[in-house]
Amino acid sequence: MTEGSAAPPTRFQRWLLPGLAFKAVVIGGGYATGRELAEFFLPSGPAGALAGMLLATVLFSLVCIVTFLFARATAARDYGSFFKALLGPGWVAFEAVYILFVILILAVYGAAAGAIGEALLGLPAIAGTLVLMAGIILFVTFGNKAVERLFAWVSYLLYGIYALFVLLAFVRFGDRIGEGFAVHAPMDGWALGGATYASYNIIGAVVILPVLRHLTSNRDAVIAGAICGPLAMLPGLLFLTAMVAFYPEVASATLPSDFLLARMNLPLFQLLFQAMIFSALLESGASAVHAINERIDAVWQRRRGTPLGAQARLVLALVLLAGCMLLAGRFGLVSLIAGGYRALAWLMLAVFVLPLLTLGTARLVRRS
């Protein structure tokens, strides 16, 4: 049964909600603006980019399936409980890496929000960052239900706008898209790009553990995990298709989304698209901060016997966001994604992916 409700979980909650929540983590920051796609996929050329995205999709689904099964087997509802079960005393290593992850991605989200405010409205970068902070705090203050509603609302907007975006791209410069895919660029590094992208983003599988409380069986875990990869990467595939029209110059743009929108010359749609990107940053940031709040709530309940209140969640979110997003103005979006994400990918492989696929899988087999 769903916590706090007598009604059984719906198929949406059991099968689709985990994928939408996972998508919220993956799509934030550079993905929403196209910067991550330019950094990790386009260097291998249009064909190599498609191959790398397919690899990332498969890796996402595989790791999510094993993560969800292990979480059910160990009754883990937050990343702290999950890694204590997986790594034993070594859980501290993941905690340290996760703190680095949150600092990095919130800095990326802050930089992206600032860049959108500058490009769209001519505002100082700090203005967009502060508006994003306020939105994240508003949702995470009220816990699981508010964050889950955000995942659903933004998902409808996001998939609809991306579909319209690709349709308009074909109408405005569809001939260039075909020419872009016809370019015979070297595919060198497509597997490394796809694996790197998947490695640092796969942390989303444990960030979204709070929504797995709706799963009722291992079958639910497998279905939900398998859906995660396609749900997370479909908008990216649509975006990449449009970006290929201006390959290779689009790869050097700080905001590839703004680069393409300027060439569509549709001011109202440009405003709508940037609002969608901001919404994606909002749900991604809320997901990351909510996971920290849930981790602290689990410890608080064990020690005090009462759940974390709304006021405490608000204060925690404010402190976390203020510290992390100040990094955004210091380093900038491109350097944060290019340098920070690559280092994070190796750390995630060491403390999460490899232990899960070896130790975690062995324990699941023994239990079965």
CATH number reported for the structural domain that contains residue 128 in this entry? 1.20.1740.10
pLDDT at 335: 64
Please write down the long-range contacts of 256-260, taking CB distance under 8 Å and 24 or more positions apart.
256/33, 256/34, 256/35, 256/37, 256/38, 257/32, 257/33, 257/34, 258/33, 258/116, 258/119, 258/120, 259/34, 260/34, 260/169
What are the DSSP calls for 23-66, one per residue? HHHHHTTHHHHTHHHHHHTGGGHHHHHHHHHHHHHHHHHHHHHH
Judged on CB neighbours under 10 Å (0-12, 13-18, 19+), 184 is: exposed
Q: What is the pLDDT of residue 106?
A: 86
Q: What is the pLDDT of residue 333?
A: 58
Cis check: omega of the bond before 248, within 30 degrees of 0? yes
Task: Give a yes or no: residue 221 inside a domain.
Answer: yes
- Is 142 domain-assigned? yes
Contact (CB, 8 A) for 20 and 155? yes
Whole-prediction pTM:
0.84
75, part of any domain? yes
pLDDT of residue 190: 97
* Averaged pLDDT in 10-residue chunks for the chain of 368 residues: 64 94 78 86 96 97 98 93 95 90 83 83 87 93 87 87 90 93 91 94 91 95 98 92 94 88 91 88 89 89 88 91 72 62 89 96 92
Taking the C-alpha atoms of residue 341 and residue 30, their distance in angstroms, rounded to an integer, is: 11
364 is a domain residue: no
In this prediction, residue 317 carries a pLDDT of 92
Q: Report the number of distinct structural domains present in the chain.
A: 1
Measure the CA angle with vertex 254, ends 249 and 260; round to 5°: 60
Residue 339 is predicted with a pLDDT of 66
State the pLDDT at residue 171. 93
Cβ neighbors of 82 (< 8 A, separation 6 or more) are 67, 70, 71, 74, 76, 206, 209
Please indicate, yes or no, if residue 345 is contained in any of the structural domains.
yes
Q: Which domain holds residue 146?
A: 11-359
Evaluate whether residue 365 is within a structural domain.
Answer: no
* pLDDT for position 1: 43
Is 1 a member of any domain? no
55 lies in a domain?
Answer: yes
Which residues lie below 8 Å from residue 4, measured CB to CB, with a gap of 6+?
none
Distance CA 180, CA 57 (A): 23
